[in-house]
Amino acid sequence: MGNLPGRGDGPAVNSAYDDPVQILVTGGAGFIGSNFVHHLVANTDAYVTVLDKLTYASSEASLRGLPEDRVRLVVGDIADAAVVEPLVAESDAVVHYAAESHNDNSLSDPAPFVQTNIVGTFVLLEAVRRHDVRFHHVSTDEVYGDLDLDDLKRFTEDTPYQPSSPYSASKAGSDHLVRAWVRSFGVRATISNCSNNYGPWQHVEKFIPRQITEVIEGRRPRVYGDGLNVRDWIHTDDHSSAVWAILSHGRIGETYLIGADGEKSNVDVVRAILRHFGRPEDDIEWVTDRAGHDRRYAIESGKLRSELGWEPKYQDFDKGLAATIAWYQENAAWWSPMKHETEAKYAAKGQ
Which residue of 38, 129, 154, 206 would you call a contact of ligand TDX, by CB under 6 A?
Answer: 206
Cβ(76)–Cβ(53) under 8 Å? Answer: yes
The answer to whether 174 contacts ligand TDX (rule: CB under 6 A) is no
Question: Element (H or E) spanning 216, and its range?
Answer: helix 207-216
Cβ(201)–Cβ(62) under 8 Å? Answer: yes
The answer to whether 54 contacts ligand NAD (rule: CB under 6 A) is yes
What residues from 82 to 101 belong to the interface with ligand TDX (CB under 6 A)?
101
Cα–Cα distance for residue pair 251/231, rounded to 1 Å: 28
Cα–Cα distance for residue pair 156/153, rounded to 1 Å: 9
Query: From the list ligand TDX, ligand NAD, none, which binds 252 (C-beta under 5 to 8 Å, kind-based)?
Result: none
The answer to whether 222 contacts ligand TDX (rule: CB under 6 A) is yes
Cα–Cα distance for residue pair 106/102, rounded to 1 Å: 6
Catalytic-role residue among 100, 141, 238, 263: 141
Cα–Cα distance for residue pair 137/22, rounded to 1 Å: 17
Which residue of 79, 230, 270, 298 would you call a contact of ligand NAD, by CB under 6 A?
Answer: 79
Cα–Cα distance for residue pair 149/147, rounded to 1 Å: 6
141 is catalytic: yes
Which residue of 31, 144, 310, 328 would you call a contact of ligand NAD, by CB under 6 A?
Answer: 31
Which residue of 255, 266, 301, 324 would you call a contact of ligand TDX, by CB under 6 A?
Answer: 266
Contacts of 66 (CB under 8 A, 6+ apart): 37, 38, 41
Cα–Cα distance for residue pair 272/318, rounded to 1 Å: 8
254 is catalytic: no
Amino acid at site 236: T
Q: Mask 124-153, x = binds ligand TDX (CB under 6 A)?
A: ----------------x-x-----------
The answer to whether 224 contacts ligand TDX (rule: CB under 6 A) is yes
The answer to whether 55 contacts ligand NAD (rule: CB under 6 A) is yes
Which residue of 2, 5, 6, 30 would you call a contact of ligand NAD, by CB under 6 A?
Answer: 30
The answer to whether 324 contacts ligand NAD (rule: CB under 6 A) is no
Q: Mask 96-135, x = binds ligand NAD (CB under 6 A)?
A: -xxxxx--------------x---x---------------
The answer to whether 229 contacts ligand TDX (rule: CB under 6 A) is yes
Query: From the list ligand TDX, ligand NAD, none, which binds 223 (C-beta under 5 to 8 Å, kind-based)?
Result: ligand TDX
- Enter the DSSP assignment of 282: T
Which of 103, 229, 124, 245 lies closest to 174 in space, CA to CA? 124
Measured from the CB atom, the residue of 44 and 202 that comes closer to ligand TDX is: 202
Q: Mask 195-224, x = binds ligand NAD (CB under 6 A)?
A: -xx-----x---------------------
Cα–Cα distance for residue pair 151/346, rounded to 1 Å: 31
Query: From the list ligand NAD, ligand TDX, none, which binds 188 (C-beta under 5 to 8 Å, kind-based)?
Result: none
> What residue ranges in the chain does DSSP mark as E strands?
22-26, 47-52, 71-75, 93-96, 134-140, 189-194, 197-198, 222-224, 230-232, 234-235, 255-258, 263-265, 285-287
Cα–Cα distance for residue pair 76/84, rounded to 1 Å: 8
Question: Element (H or E) spanning 213, and its range?
Answer: helix 207-216
Q: What's the closest the beta carbon of residue 290 comes to ligand TDX, in angstroms?
A: 6
Which residue of 279, 290, 303, 345 would you call a contact of ligand TDX, by CB under 6 A?
Answer: 290
Cα–Cα distance for residue pair 65/48, rounded to 1 Å: 14
Q: What are the backbone angles phi and psi of residue 197, rounded to the nearest 5°?
A: -95, 150
Q: Mask 240-259, x = binds ligand TDX (CB under 6 A)?
A: --------------------
The answer to whether 339 contacts ligand TDX (rule: CB under 6 A) is no
Which residues lie near ligand TDX (CB under 6 A)? 101-103, 140, 142, 196, 206-207, 210, 222-224, 229, 231, 266, 290
| Catalytically active residues, by annotation | 141-142, 167
